A and B are shown apart, each in its own frame.
Chain A
Amino acid sequence: MTNIFKPLVAAAALCAAPFSAQAQGWTPPGPITMYIGFAAGGGADTQARLIAQGLEEKFGWTVIPQQAQGNSGLNLAAELADAPADGTAIGMVVSETLTYSALASGDPSVQLDKFTPLATTAQFQMGMVAMDGGDFDSWDKVTAAAEAGTPIRFATASDRQADMAWHLGQKVGIDFNIVEVRGGKGVMDGLRGGDVDIGWVAGAQSKPVQQGEMTNIARGIKTPLADTPDAPVITELGSDYLLDGYFMFIAPGDLDPDAREALGNAIRAVANDSSTDANAMLTKAFGGAAVVTGEDLDIFMEHSVKDAAALIEAVNG
């Protein structure tokens, strides 16, 4: 479903002039607090801080980044839900937060309808990763090892990833030992230390893959991975679902439509402008900017919620 946005993204990038946000006539009534749902210092955190910097430089707004990490982004969601819906409080999470994680937590105050999605910035480059040259560096080797009775340790960094690992295993008849670790970095440390055999990584594997240390044996997204274009997509291997998603900005629910449009366009302008540090970072570490706003974003989010509900049902039901 992601590549239907590609032309839209490209077209929007051409249209997005730096002054588009001001043209709407909406300006924030005060400084904007940007909550960041990721650990300080990581790639996602840096990305958000660079967007904040870009918004300040390009539009003269005051943007104050603030950490609100933990619990798969739901801590941020809970904090943001209480903030004023006047455009002075926004937050960066992954789309998974308001879809899978919100549904799985069952907490009514953090569901998608309590928030206004503003804009995505980048897409997951989700791969199933193993050490290159190891015993599990292709899907065939994984299935062969499983048939031979070797227990396979599958590292995951979120509940959704764990569910997807289990679901895939059920479909192909492998009973993975699913090991939940902290972040893509935790997955890669586990692979290097020999503590796990394969694992999901959402983009941080790019450098080790390019340098031949690791390899993507499959991909979780529809479009081919930039580093390993011939890695098969997991739906071909037997999965019913993709493991895709975006980094995205959200605001509290019932945001004024003018504010939503202005903020969305402003983020787009910063992310797509090749002269900004944010754009350079997105290109270097996230496979390029991928901005979706407005109705297109609403459609994607609704679709993801349905997929997440089906996955939760399939795993627990």
Chain B
Amino acid sequence: MRRINQNMALGAVIVALALFALFAWVPNDTVSGFVESKRGRLSIGDAMAPGIAFGLMALSGLILLLEARKGDMPGALEQRTFAFLLVALTACAVSFGVMIWAGPLAVAVFGGEGDTYRNLRDTAPWKHIGFVLGGTGLVTTLIALVEKRVTSNAVMIGLAAALALVGVFDLAFDNLLLPPNGDQ
């Protein structure tokens, strides 16, 4: 029963979203509309293709509703799935956050007078701080999530992976910037 309901719900949500996009989003977020008159001729506007795509989406939702009624559709979500995803995404977000902010923070605390991270973004060791800390964090936390405990193995693997990437790409390629240095 639970599965059938989920597919019903999926179909209904999809139809609703597609209709909303078709009548509210697409017309209001495109300049030229479905068709426009340009240089004395009619031409296809920017809203046409997305309009058709959302139409297909609505159709797929309707088909899902029909299929769900026939029953026995595979695919189901459980609460545990959301729990896993929440933890995994938090780990990713925190790790990438560390990657972005560790370097500028280090420059602010230990850097010289008037140094900015932007101007040091291609200078060792500043440019490596964020990537190594954030990269190690990402690998370690994800391993720890599966193992359900933090082991020194996990930290070593994370650190080794991050250092290996720094070693290979920073030494071999002149013009590559490790994350997050291209955004500075």
Contacts and interface: CB of A to CB of B under 8 A. Distances in A.
Interface of A: 29-31, 33, 62, 64-66, 84, 88, 162-163, 166, 175, 177-178, 315
Given A64-B175, A64-B182, A66-B182, A30 B41 contact: no
Interface SS majority for chain B:
loop
18 contacts: A29-B119, A30-B119, A30-B120, A30-B121, A30-B122, A31-B119, A33-B182, A62-B122, A64-B122, A64-B182, A66-B182, A84-B118, A88-B119, A175-B40, A177-B41, A178-B39, A178-B41, A315-B39
Contact of A162 (B39, B177, B182): B39
Contacts of A178: 39, 41
Chain A CB within 10 Å, residue with most, of B39, B116, B121, B122: B39
Contacts of A29: 119
Contacts of A62: 122
A33 B118 CA distance: 10
Contacts of A64: 122, 175, 177, 182
Given A64-B175, A66-B182, A166 B40 contact: yes
B38 to A, nearest CB: 8
A84 B41 CA distance: 43
Contacts, number: 30
Contacts of A31: 119, 121-122
Contacts of A84: 118
A177 B43 CA distance: 11
Interface in B105-122: 116, 118-122
A29 B120 CA distance: 10
A31 B41 CA distance: 49
Given A30-B121, A65-B175, 11 more contacts: A30-B116, A30-B118, A30-B122, A31-B119, A64-B122, A88-B119, A162-B39, A163-B39, A166-B39, A166-B40, A178-B41
Contacts of A88: 118-119
B41 to A, nearest CB: 7
Contacts of A163: 39
Interface in B164-184: 175, 177, 182
A-B pairs with lowest CB-CB distance, top 7: A30-B119, A166-B39, A31-B122, A29-B119, A62-B122, A64-B175, A30-B118
A28 to B, nearest CB: 9
A62 B120 CA distance: 11
A164 B120 CA distance: 47
Nearest to A65: B175
A88 B182 CA distance: 12
A177 B38 CA distance: 12
Contacts of B120: 30
Interface string B40-66: 110000000000000000000000000
A40 B175 CA distance: 15
A177 B42 CA distance: 11
A30 B121 CA distance: 8
Contacts of B182: 33, 64, 66
B18 to A, nearest CB: 27
B15 to A, nearest CB: 32
Contacts of B116: 30
Contacts of B40: 166, 175
Contacts of A166: 39-40
A139 to B, nearest CB: 20
A66 B182 CA distance: 8
A315 to B, nearest CB: 6
A177 B39 CA distance: 10
B94 to A, nearest CB: 27
